[in-house]
């Protein structure tokens, strides 16, 4: 894989592609380099379109060690040359890891335990106030202020809430008992909360969080949270209280949502039973199906996915379900979805893998697809899922990806598209021995192109 390419080899390739003699290309490149050098000397920066930027940076005088003698020495001020590739190039280089994303480390040892405790007590308090709210202003429509930011904070809402909700949506009307039980679970906490915070839950909670810090615990407050917080800085307290308010809003919102979705699921259940022979129903399939049937006639390929458009309450549920289900999805290797309006293979791949360039994998998995550039909203689609750890591809996955690229290669080749050779190249990237898996005629010139890139 990583081999050294000599300058003369480079010259040879470039000469061939640009249809000049080797001698000319060699001299031209030499001159190119010297022009870069001059540019660095005169301007301190050289920008080459499509590739990157050379920069001269001044490094100040600093102390250092001589690694051989361990002696301290003074490194004089000097210039250093840095090269910063363009974003496109960086992304191309990083392609093998592009599907991976930073992950939160759950138990961070540096974080004080107190914060967690505080959050727990705070959360239960928030739930209390939320249930109070439910009782007092039962059918009042939720204020939009709470709804908007809440989307961002979905992952922080208590997970148990999601699970319960999922159960109730999945099993539909049968579980109305459980639903009541769930509500009953929330209410018992109510009597314990003091009446003061019950009357005006939201403003009160923020004041309560803040007070102990401001008065620096001069008055011994009877709440346990007050004592704990002495060691925590002001901004953290503010942040925490803000978070708690949001969680309270989210929890309340979801409890309302369950009522709505239950009615919906009654309707959806009948259609689902009719259309779906597989018993293996994904929870988030229902909402998307609702959408799809609503926009049955919509054409497929559009540039912007309008998934963010808030429509019905049911659609909003897609988001929490996705996060809640990520464990479940990992276990199955194929996710059966219904194509939504505005979705493209590219966008689906981006949502599923974090790397839109893997879309041929989906194409290759779905035999009935013809034109890789056209998918029809409302049709079912099998989305293969990576089975390696951390959403990464294992050997059989990359074989599948390679086959997908071969399928797209074949299509583009049949339709005389220039893209074909790039897809062959990508296929080779994911699986070395293309000939073993190729069920299509591979053009020699294209194969040469793919091999050259290795």
Partner 1 sequence: MNTNELVDRLAENWDLSQAEARRILDTFVETITDHLAAGNSFTIPELGTFGTKTRESRKSYNPHYEQYMMLPPKRVVDFTPSKGLKEDLEDLEQDHE
- Residues engaged in binding partner 1 (CB under 8 A): 1-7, 9-10, 13-14, 17-18, 20, 25, 28-37, 39-52, 56, 58, 78-83, 85, 89-90, 92-97, 100-105, 108, 110-111, 390, 452-454
How far from chain centre, in Å, is Cα 243?
Answer: 22
Helix (H) or strand (E) holding 210: helix 201-214
- Of 413, 441, 447, which is closest to residue 427 (Cα–Cα)? 447
Smallest distance from the beta carbon of 238 to partner 1, in angstroms? 13
Smallest distance from the beta carbon of 52 to partner 1, in angstroms? 8
User: Structure tokens of 280?
Assistant: 């293996």
Smallest distance from the beta carbon of 357 to partner 1, in angstroms? 12
Q: Do the beta carbons of residue 83 and residue 52 sit within 8 Å?
A: yes
Nearer to partner 1, 303 or 433 (CB): 433
DSSP β-bridge partners for residue 55: 45, 82
280, with CB counted inside 10 A (0-12, 13-18, 19+), is exposed
| Sign of the Cα pseudo-torsion (17, 19, 23, 27, in order) | negative
Smallest distance from the beta carbon of 222 to partner 1, in angstroms? 29
Smallest distance from the beta carbon of 13 to partner 1, in angstroms? 5
Nearer to partner 1, 50 or 368 (CB): 50
Smallest distance from the beta carbon of 26 to partner 1, in angstroms? 10
Q: Alpha-carbon distance 173 to 161, whole Å?
A: 18
Q: Do the beta carbons of residue 5 and residue 11 sit within 8 Å?
A: no
Smallest distance from the beta carbon of 390 to partner 1, in angstroms? 8
Backbone angles phi, psi at 107, to 5 degrees: -95, 95
Nearer to partner 1, 363 or 425 (CB): 425
Query: 59 by DSSP, 3-state: which?
Result: strand
Nearer to partner 1, 56 or 256 (CB): 56
Nearer to partner 1, 135 or 233 (CB): 233
Nearer to partner 1, 250 or 377 (CB): 250
Buried residues in 347-384 as b, exposed as e (16+ CB within 10 A)? bbbbebbebbbbbbbbbbbbeebeebbebebbebbebb
Q: Do the beta carbons of residue 450 and residue 428 sit within 8 Å?
A: yes
Nearer to partner 1, 296 or 390 (CB): 390
């Amino acid at each position: 894989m990583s081999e050294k390419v000599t300058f003369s080899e480079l010259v040879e390739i470039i000469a061939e592609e640009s249809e000049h003699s080797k001698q000319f290309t060699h001299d031209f490149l030499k001159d190119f380099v010297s022009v870069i050098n001059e540019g660095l000397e005169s301007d301190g920066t050289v920008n080459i379109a499509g590739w990157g930027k050379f920069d001269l940076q001044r490094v100040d005088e600093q102390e250092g060690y001589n690694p051989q003698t361990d002696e301290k020495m003074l490194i004089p001020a000097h210039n250093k040359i840095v090269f910063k590739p363009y974003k496109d190039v960086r992304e191309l280089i990083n392609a093998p890891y592009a599907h991976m994303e930073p992950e939160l480390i759950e138990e961070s040892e540096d974080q004080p335990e107190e914060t967690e405790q505080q959050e727990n007590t705070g959360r239960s308090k928030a739930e209390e106030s939320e249930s109070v709210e439910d009782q007092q202003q039962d059918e009042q429509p939720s204020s939009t202020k709470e709804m908007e930011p809440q989307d961002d904070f979905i992952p922080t809402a208590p997970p148990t809430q999601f699970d319960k909700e999922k159960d109730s949506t999945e099993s539909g009307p049968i579980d109305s008992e459980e639903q009541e039980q769930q509500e009953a679970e929330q209410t018992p906490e109510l009597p314990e909360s003091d009446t003061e915070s019950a009357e005006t839950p939201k403003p009160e909670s923020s004041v309560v969080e803040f007070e102990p810090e401001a008065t620096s615990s001069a008055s011994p407050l009877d709440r346990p949270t007050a004592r704990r917080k002495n060691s925590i800085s002001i901004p953290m307290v503010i942040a925490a209280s803000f978070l708690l308010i949001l969680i309270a809003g989210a929890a309340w919102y979801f409890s309302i949502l369950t009522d709505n979705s239950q009615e919906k699921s009654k309707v959806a259940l009948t259609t689902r039973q009719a259309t779906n022979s597989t018993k293996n129903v994904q929870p988030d399939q229902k909402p998307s199906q609702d959408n799809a049937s609503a926009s049955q006639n919509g054409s497929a390929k559009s540039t912007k996915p309008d998934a963010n458009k808030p429509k019905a309450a049911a659609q909003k549920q897609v988001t929490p379900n996705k996060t809640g289900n990520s464990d479940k999805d990992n276990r199955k290797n194929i996710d059966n979805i219904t194509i939504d309006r505005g979705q493209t293979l590219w966008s689906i791949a981006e949502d599923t893998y974090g790397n839109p360039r893997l879309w041929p994998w989906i194409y290759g998995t779905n035999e009935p697809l013809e034109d890789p550039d056209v998918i029809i909203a409302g049709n079912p689609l099998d989305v293969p899922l990576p089975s390696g750890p951390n959403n990464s591809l294992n050997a059989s996955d990359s074989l599948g990806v390679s086959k997908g690229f071969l399928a797209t290669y074949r299509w583009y080749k049949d339709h005389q598209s220039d893209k074909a050779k790039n897809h062959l190249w990508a296929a080779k990237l994911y699986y070395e021995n293309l000939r073993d898996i190729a069920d299509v005629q591979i053009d020699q010139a294209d194969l040469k192109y793919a091999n050259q890139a290795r």
